[in-house]
Structure 1
Amino acid sequence: MSTDIIKNSRNTENAPKSSVSTQTVAFSHYNNISAQLPIDPKSGKIVGDDVKTQTKQCLENIKAIVESIGHVMDDAVKITVFLKNLSDIEAVKDVYKTYFKSYFPTLTKVGVAALPLDGALVQIEALISNGEGTTPQKPSPLVKVARNTAHAPQSAVSTQTVAFSHYNNLSAQLPIDPKSGKLVAGGITEQTEQCLKNIKAILESIDHVMDDIVKTTIFVKNISDVNAVNDVCAKFFPSYAPARTFVNAAALPMGALVQIDTAVSHGDGTPPQLPEDSSKIVIEASIAENAPKTTYAHTVAFSHYNHISGQLPVDAKTGKLVAGGAKEQAEQCLKNIKAIVESVDHVMDDAVKINIQLKHIADIDAVNAVYKTFFKGDLPARTVVGVSAIPMDALVQMDAVVSNCESTPPKA
């Protein structure tokens, strides 16, 4: 593993601190910010009992973190909002849109079964552009490229795709017909197909293809729909299956059954990067022998990041859930991530972001006890949500974003 580029982990006193995560972890041209709860950093307590007050506090915390590292809110490329009650989304939007002056980043909105602290109604995470890079990269005046197409659903509070450096980040796509603005008729198969059609339309509008996708996070209303979704995905990815995580949503906008979030490779870069310098960067998809088998890639590396598929607490040898409770299951999830990371010559301390879904949010302390033992240095940024179901009736699932110092090679 090359050590040329250094991960930059930072905290500020002006936002809530955590013993199990770092507020922001920058690597190369992105900052990964831990999901922020509506906590007053001075009192350490949740503010208010209404969603507008709490949304403002979440965004104030993100703003404080962003400004502490010399950035502004308009450097955000992606925002994800987790809501205890999805019916609160319009109130959230009223507050949200006051925090951006020049444009709206990509946006994902999802209802979840629980949030990490009692009384929290909303939690918000962010991905921020980082033009200055991290040591020893030299600062570069890279430009964000925000784009929409009429061939996919548009929103007044988000952009369909925002490219920065070598990644495109798409707003999560719902099964909406862009002509009618309504959900398509049918069940999970038809809705999944429409989500993927919308993603395909966005990608083609910026001269990309579905095989440029490196990671999909698929939110499903019913966890039993996973196999049907996989069947549809196979039609859209016949030669290569990106990293994938299924997350059970308590509710999705418009009452949808499925919503798909994507991270997309962007070999052409953004100005002033030159297409001829970077358009031949290769996507490297890998399957690790010591991790549970899947029909999609365990890890997909592109440029300076690896994206790890959601890992269940499954023993790779038996293919079954490990015995025990949340602590034992969390340990197995982390062992699986570790096996995947080590299979591509990396270590757990290369992780910049960890995402955790819990069947019972009360298990968070048990998970934290084992979680910290897998990292020797600064802890990654982190997001935790409670869900009502996880594949295989597991208690916990985790995925990861990992730094990739050596980058991926150009084609010969």
Structure 2
Amino acid sequence: MSGDNVVLARNTDNAPKSDRYAQTVAFSHYNNFSAQLPLDPATGKIVAGGAKEQAEQCLKNIKAVVESIDHAMTDVVRITIFVKNIKDVPAIDEVYKTFFTTYLPARTVVAVAALPMDALVQVEALLTNGEGTIPNAPQSGDLIKYTNNTHNAPLDPMSTQIVAFSHYSNISAQLPLDPETNEIVVGGVAEQAAQCLKNIKAILTSIDVPIDDIVKVSVFLKDLSDIDAVNEVYTRFFPDSGIARAVGYMPARTVVEVAALPMHALVQIEAVVSHGDGTPPQAVEDRHGLIVEANSTDAAPKCKFSTQTVAFSHYNNISAQLPIDPATGKIVSGGVVEQAEQCFKNIKAIIECVDHKLEDAVKVNIFLKNIEDLDAVNETYATFFPGAPARRVVGASTLPMGALVQVDAIFGNAEGTPPIV
């Protein structure tokens, strides 16, 4: 990888280890954590008890990793909670509040079809990394974390609407709530999707950021067959500005069917946003006017609703890849091994089109139709990602085009993106 930034993978004996992934992978100003299962690190087994006990163990494991790299839980900027049963969320929140007592990160909560090892809960974290990863040269020192809420979007007692650090802003997943009533809007999935995006736009407007500064969107759908209706609404919001329309800019995107969403919502939308101004004390010349670089290649499947990779500052955000042969536009023949291989080939083609390589991966997210297929996928995975980036695996009862597997990823972008000249 070009430039001076390095991918820094670390592990501690105080949290569960795996030869498939690192507990945390730092690059530039962020630490990307692998999703933590409720495993006792001493035994490698799921802890006794229900969702509350399992959530506590997940968060203990995260805290152990956080402290092992000389950070604190107040350095967490985003938490993602995957549950088997959405009704367990209130019990999980009781534990959650004991780990975040003075500050609340951005947050996403979804119920999924299955989790590895039949767990009831899995928790993932994204942390700041103020010192950066340029060897022997502090990049910016103790950067400030910015948090913001606006009454023009729904307020949640368990999360902050948007948390900015360095050159990225992380928005809590938005439900289709009317901010005046805090209730789900009237109508079906189209109306709900529009409200989710309105809430995201309101949050961004409150910090003077346009919606076209979004680099990655994750759409969580209760019923995947609703995607056409969501897409119709989606194109009303993206692209938004004249400049974005001129180039046809669409953020990177992942669409996942979930088992359930909070408040019985039909859709929930999460966004990651570029933050060109950075957070102090970054020098003005290091932070103003950075360019969002969007790229696609014919060597991987294209989608009119997303860009294959969107780079901003020191990260490349990859759209979720299905096991589609780019030459035919169809799912490859074979089972989950062949499909996983095609997903990884597509990611490889995308990252190579921007002069990077698979070793630059900092995080890989795998969505499986059958969680029992994980061992088979792992065999193929190891041939593409021997460096063991951070990882998340969840089960989804349905994937687009009837696929058995879908994969998205985050890569380092050592050279960064240039400022506007």
User: 1:260 maps to which residue?
Assistant: 269
C-alpha offsets along residues 249-308 of structure 1, whole Å, 9 cap, x if unaligned? 100001111100110000011121245642210000111110011112000000000000
Q: Are 1:294 and 2:296 matched, yes or no?
A: no
CA contact (8 A) 1:112 1:250 kept: yes
User: 1:326 maps to which residue?
Assistant: 336
User: 1:112 maps to which residue?
Assistant: 112
Secondary structure in structure 2 of the residue aligned to 1:310: strand
Q: Are 1:220 and 2:186 matched, yes or no?
A: no
User: 1:369 maps to which residue?
Assistant: 379
- Pairs within 5 Å for 1:240-389: 240-275=249-284, 277-295=286-304, 296-376=306-386, 378-389=387-398
Secondary structure in structure 1 of the residue aligned to 2:178: coil
Rounded Cα–Cα distance in structure 2 between residues aligned with 1:79 and 1:327: 30
RMSD: 1.0
Give the count of matched residue pairs.
410
Secondary structure in structure 2 of the residue aligned to 1:216: strand
Secondary structure in structure 2 of the residue aligned to 1:36: coil
User: 1:397 maps to which residue?
Assistant: 406
Rounded Cα–Cα distance in structure 1 between residues aligned with 2:212 and 2:283: 22
Greater Cα shift, 180-189 or 1-10: 1-10
User: 1:101 maps to which residue?
Assistant: 101
C-alpha offsets along residues 218-263 of structure 1, whole Å, 9 cap, x if unaligned? 0001111112211111110132210000011100001111100110
Rounded Cα–Cα distance in structure 1 between residues aligned with 2:285 and 2:101: 33
Greater Cα shift, 233-242 or 35-44: 233-242
Secondary structure in structure 2 of the residue aligned to 1:74: helix
C-alpha offsets along residues 333-369 of structure 1, whole Å, 9 cap, x if unaligned? 0000000000000000100000010000000000001
Q: Are 1:410 and 2:419 matched, yes or no?
A: yes
CA contact (8 A) 1:189 1:229 kept: yes
Question: Which AA in structure 1 matches 2:276?
Answer: G
Secondary structure in structure 2 of the residue aligned to 1:194: helix
Greater Cα shift, 299-308 or 223-232: 223-232
Question: Which AA in structure 2 matches 1:388?
Answer: S
Rounded Cα–Cα distance in structure 2 between residues aligned with 1:371 and 1:277: 36
Off by >3 Å, runs of 4+ in structure 1: 274-277
CA contact (8 A) 1:327 1:370 kept: yes
Secondary structure in structure 2 of the residue aligned to 1:333: helix
User: 1:28 maps to which residue?
Assistant: 28
CA contact (8 A) 1:74 1:101 kept: no
Question: Which AA in structure 1 matches 2:132?
Answer: G
TM-score (norm 2): 0.96
Measured after TM superposition, the shift of residue 114 of structure 1 is: 0.2
CA contact (8 A) 1:267 1:275 kept: no
User: 2:232 maps to which residue?
Assistant: 231
- Pairs within 5 Å for 1:173-184: 173-184=174-185
TM-score (norm 1): 0.98
Identity among equivalent positions (%) equals: 60
Please list every run of 5 or more consecutive structure 1 residues that lacks an aligned counterpart in the other structure.
none
Measured after TM superposition, the shift of residue 100 of structure 1 is: 1.7
Measured after TM superposition, the shift of residue 381 of structure 1 is: 0.2
Rounded Cα–Cα distance in structure 1 between residues aligned with 2:255 and 2:109: 15
User: 1:63 maps to which residue?
Assistant: 63
Rounded Cα–Cα distance in structure 2 between residues aligned with 1:227 and 1:381: 32
Rounded Cα–Cα distance in structure 2 between residues aligned with 1:359 and 1:100: 33
Secondary structure in structure 2 of the residue aligned to 1:155: coil
Q: Are 1:161 and 2:162 matched, yes or no?
A: yes
User: 2:74 maps to which residue?
Assistant: 74
Rounded Cα–Cα distance in structure 1 between residues aligned with 2:286 and 2:309: 25
Please list every run of 5 or more consecutive structure 2 residues that lacks an aligned counterpart in the other structure.
240-244
Rounded Cα–Cα distance in structure 1 between residues aligned with 2:283 and 2:229: 41
Question: Which AA in structure 2 matches 1:400?
Answer: A
C-alpha offsets along residues 51-83 of structure 1, whole Å, 9 cap, x if unaligned? 111111000000000100000111000000000
Rounded Cα–Cα distance in structure 1 between residues aligned with 2:17 and 2:327: 38
